[in-house]
Amino acid sequence: MVEGRISGRSVPGGPSSGGPPVASMVEGIVGCKWSVRLLGLVATGVHRPSALLRSCPGLSAKVMNERLRKMMRFGIVHRTASGEKPPIEVEYRLTEFGRGFIRILEEVRRLQEAVDAGKFPQRAAPEQEGGMGRSRPTAVPRRRSVSRLTGEPEP
């Protein structure tokens, strides 16, 4: 595991932080369409929560806040709130670590574009590669029930 530092504190995933490894972070962010979309918007300059919601039709405020909190825990985005009385102004910005994370997503996007353009040979489905995928369960004959009283097979 590699330890990094952001603004004098350990990056999640470093040994001293006890945070998740980077691979788990990638899986947690990339595995959620809203997290990827929000991260892309923050990277392109959309920083206010209301603007993020307007840019993602179908995204609820609750889910948006959950995803942004998750990215804050991972150290990918930083939240700043200014103002003393409501309404306070909230903005989300990428951290240094978050900018590195964006580079990972860009590489995934480039790889997908190359696959879509046919630059890589098509692979066979895992089931066709000799057992690499899930195998179908084999039928196991059912045991017939036997009556406790008579010892005869039950219907």
Residues 54 and 47: beta-carbon distance below 8 Å:
no
CB 114 within 8 A of CB 50: no
| CA–CA–CA angle 119, 28, 77 (5° rounding) | 100
Give the residues across from 91 on adjacent strands: 80
Six-digit token string for 124: 């066979």
Q: What's the pLDDT score for residue 14?
A: 45
The predicted-structure confidence for 97-121, as pLDDT tens digits, reads as follows 999 999 988 998 899 899 999 888 7
Q: Any alpha helices (H) in 19-95, and if so which ranges?
A: 22-30, 33-43, 49-55, 61-73
Q: What's the fold here for domain 5-128?
A: Arc Repressor Mutant, subunit A (1.10.10)
pTM, entire model: 0.63
Share of the chain above pLDDT 90, in %: 46
Question: How large is the average pLDDT for residues 19-26?
Answer: 76
Domain range annotation of the chain = 5-128
